Homo-oligomer: A and B are copies of this chain.
Amino acid sequence: MMDRAPPAFPVLPTLAPGTVWLVGAGPGDPGLLSLLAAKALNEADVVVYDALVSAPILALARPGARLEFAGKRGGRPSPSQRDISARLIELGRSGLRVLRLKGGDPCVFGRGAEEALALAAAGIPFRLVPGITAAQGALAYAGVPMTHRDSNAAVTLLTGHAQGGGLPDGLDWAALAKGAPVLILYMALGHLAAITERLIAGGRAPETPALMISHATLPNQRIVETTLAGLATDAARHAVEAPCLIALGETIRLRAALDWTAPAAQREAAANALLAALRAEAG
């Protein structure tokens, strides 16, 4: 007979002295933080964070923890990737418990692998802790699934911004246009006209539904609905701000039915119309 309930909280690993955890903070809403990230915030001696880590998440850091900013801000020059890696090595060597906290997932367009490689080469123990990436947060909070059984068995995430500031080299845009039915673009605001042109030239329909989602999952989230052909014009017209996630594909049409932040009655009518259309199509 058990006279005590087992502990309800799972036993999680501890951020040990001299160790660096590379952790994803998720897209912004603190509710999307992982338990491991929250634990690391509670244990770290120093938190090295990027511009995309939101204020309510940093507020979870242990009182007395040192917060070091390592991102771009305003017109100030940001520390180079080499400087950040050197700083993480130095902090780890000094025996501190180090939390390297990045917006989204450090291994999804987050340069986490570069920092991990530097730490590995220096013999500093580290851990990779994934986070909910911007694509997941932005689409869920817009009421759009990343995949839907009726329409897309594949989804591609890509960055519109390479190391040097241009479009990434070596991407086969024609193949991307014909590949996954849903495309999700990170950091693409600077090259919208070029990306649109390449995708349309590759065969993607100009009228493909598109969303631009700025400040995803945060109180200042803002969504602009447009089409592939309309991206560049509408980004300018609506003064769309970075950070911005752009989604392209037919699943976006589900938004009228699935936007759970909209009034229920509005959603209900759209959902019933959609289900009726599906039933008619199925014969």
Hey, which bits of chain A sit against chain B, CB under 8 A?
5-6, 8-10, 12-13, 26, 29-36, 38-39, 56-57, 59-60, 63, 105, 107-114, 116-118, 120-123, 125-133, 136-137, 139-141, 143, 145-149, 153-159, 162-163, 168-172, 174-180, 251, 254, 257-258, 260, 264-265, 267-268, 270-272, 274-275
Which residues in B have their C-beta under 8 angstroms from that of A117?
A: 254, 257-258, 271, 274-275
What is the CB-to-nearest-CB distance from A225 to chain B, in angstroms, rounded to a whole number?
18
> CA of A18 to CA of B31 in the docked complex: distance in angstroms?
21
Q: What's the least CB distance linking A142 to chain B, in Å?
A: 9
CA distance A123 to B257 in the complex (A): 11
A146 interface neighbour in B105, B120, B179, B267, Cβ under 8 Å: B105
Which residues of chain B are near A125, meaning CB under 8 Å? 260, 264
A56 to B35, CA, bound (A): 13
Q: Are B154 and A154 in contact, with the CB atoms below 8 A? A: no
- How many copies of the chain does the oligomer comprise? 2
The 4 closest A-B pairs by CB, nearest first: A153-B168, A120-B271, A113-B145, A154-B158
What is the bound-complex CA distance between A132 and B63, given in angstroms?
Answer: 28
- State the main secondary structure of chain A at its contact with B: mixed
Set of chain B residues within 8 Å of A120, measured between Cβ atoms: 257-258, 260, 264, 267-268, 270-271
Q: Are B108 and A147 in contact (CB under 8 A)?
A: yes
Is B126 within 8 A of A60, CB to CB? no
Q: When the two chains form the complex, which single residue of B111, B132, B254 contacts A113, counting CB atoms closer than 8 Å?
A: B254
Asked if residues B6 and A264 are in contact (CB atoms below 8 Å), the reply is no
- Residues in B neighbouring A162, C-beta threshold 8 A: 149, 153
- With A36-B31, A123-B268, A176-B179 given, is the CB distance from A113 to B59 under 8 Å? no
Minimal beta-carbon separation of A271 from chain B (angstroms): 4
The answer to whether A31 touches B39 (Cβ under 8 A) is: yes
Q: Evaluate whether A156 and B153 lie within 8 angstroms (CB atoms) in the complex, with A34-B26, A60-B10, A267-B120 already known.
A: no
Tell me the complex Cα distance, A18–B140, Å: 21
Q: Are B26 and A127 in contact (CB under 8 A)?
A: no
Interchain nearest-CB distance for A111 vs B (Å):
6
A254 to B, closest residue via Cβ: B113
Residues of B within 8 A of A112 (CB): 145
Provided the pairs A105-B136, A168-B153, A257-B117 are in contact, do residues A32 and B30 lie with their beta carbons within 8 angstroms? Answer: no
